[in-house]
Amino acid sequence: MNASCCFSCSPDPTDDCSPDPSKRPDVAEGDLSKIFQRAVDNYPQYQPTVRHRDPWVVTFDNLLTDEECDGIIQAVGGVHGEYIKPSTTAKAERGPNGRMILKDVPDQIRTSHNAWCQHAGCYNHPIHERVISRIMDIVGLPHDYAEHMQLLKYGPGEYYRLHHDWIPEQLQALCGPRVFTFFLYLSDVEEGGGTQFPYLKDENGNPLTVYPKRGSAVWWPHGHEENPWRKDDRTHHEAQPVIRGLKMAANYWIHGADFKGAMAAGCDGRTGVKGRVWRK
């Protein structure tokens, strides 16, 4: 999981990787509703629909063109490219310097495959640049607040069981915790593969489920309206198994502070060594 900021047990002014407690977060109390409502009001061309309020879940029925869907997949390296690997989850462990670090570990709750858009051929690809600019314009935060895009591939029978995208150890990270997930659907799926929020209900009283539709997206927060930096358990979700077809999708995890700047400062959470490459 590409979420490796450094973090400590408490803010430490002598530690370059600790956040400045005197600074107001860019996403703070009362901001979530303003951010989502502004996006719904200002971007009708992407066909936004409010699927739930408190917490917000918004879908965009027409966010990407077919060319952009294909371009994102090809920029990463293709459906069967060398960068596609079995998906993992993040596990926190204490490193030799006493600081907690995140490690990628296999986990049977997640059976998909993924690839990260971190090599230059992907990150600097014009279609990727266009898409990330569009997403961050909608969200209203700088590009560097987003982690690198994660491409996902789910074949028949593959899934991601109930989970939350929040990583609690990042509360003391320079980049802060993830505050949003912006999830793109890059393919249609013949059957299955929905994104379900079992603790949220749709207009019929059923668990809120968003089904894959090529070119669409779903966006939700991780924290509460009164405190976006406090985990909202209601946005637990799962990727339901694909029954027929292939599900191609992409994650953009967005933080409430400068994620890529934290990485450039050497706060990568994996080595704790200043100046090391974030991820190869």
Per-residue model confidence (pLDDT) at position 97: 56
The structural domains of the chain, ordered by start, are 31-87+110-259 (2.60.120.620)
What gap in Å lies between CA 63 and CA 48, rounded to an integer?
9
Angle between helices 126-139 and 66-76 (to 10 degrees): 110
What gap in Å lies between CA 249 and CA 116, rounded to an integer?
12
Sign of CA dihedral 16, 18, 23, 28: positive
pLDDT tens digits, the chain, 280 residues: what are they? Answer: 444 444 333 445 445 676 777 777 789 899 999 999 999 999 999 999 999 999 999 999 999 999 999 999 999 987 666 667 767 655 555 555 555 555 565 567 888 899 999 888 999 999 999 999 999 999 999 999 999 999 999 999 999 999 999 988 777 777 888 999 999 999 999 999 999 999 999 999 999 999 999 999 999 999 999 999 899 999 999 999 999 999 999 999 999 888 888 877 766 443 333 332 223 2
Q: By the 8 A CB rule, do 151 and 112 touch?
A: no
What gap in Å lies between CA 22 and CA 127, rounded to an integer?
38
Q: How far is CA 186 from CA 71, 136, 173, 214, 248, in A?
A: 10, 18, 31, 5, 5
Per-residue model confidence (pLDDT) at position 279: 32
Per-residue model confidence (pLDDT) at position 169: 75
